[in-house]
Amino acid sequence: MTPYDPDNVFAKILRGDLPCHKVHEDADCLAFMDIMPRAPGHTLVIPKAPARTILDIVPASLTSLALAVQRVAKGVKAGMKADGLTIQQFNEPAGGQVVFHIHFHIIPRWNGQPLGPHASQMAPGDQLAAHAASIRAALG
């Protein structure tokens, strides 16, 4: 198994070396806006504990991560006034993983609107900030 890289982009966000539009944070997890969203409000949820994939995350961290994904998903759906959600999690390059720190994608969906392409276009910062604010407000 490939070892965890402590210099991956999500590790840098966790250390504060890179900025993010934060949606939710607790002792174990961080949720923030995807800078290349497949739909408005596309949010990522990551554990604070280092883990490359679902295959190497410790069970306690996975439990905290799953609970955070559920909580944030409720906020994304309500805050973005979405008709539904797509929740994705990829493992290793063959599985579609691009950043090698386990993470879940929460993507709001609206009837009749297809998903945009993966990792294709950066969203404006003011748009990401507005979506993050809507989701945070829905989380309470």
Going along the chain from its start, the domains and CATH numbers come out as 9-94+104-122 (3.30.428.10)
Please identify which of the residues 103, 105, 118, 131 carries the catalytic annotation: 103
pLDDT of residue 117: 82
Phi-psi region at 22: left, alpha or beta (left = phi > 0; alpha = psi -120 to 50) = beta
pLDDT of residue 120: 78
Say how far apart CA 134 and CA 140 lie, in whole Å: 10
Task: Kindly report whether the global pTM for this prediction surpasses the value 0.95.
Answer: yes
- For 78-115, how does the pLDDT look when each residue is reduced to its tens digit (9 = 90+)? 999 999 999 999 999 999 999 999 999 999 999 999 99
Structure tokens at 118: 């993966």
21 an active-site residue? no
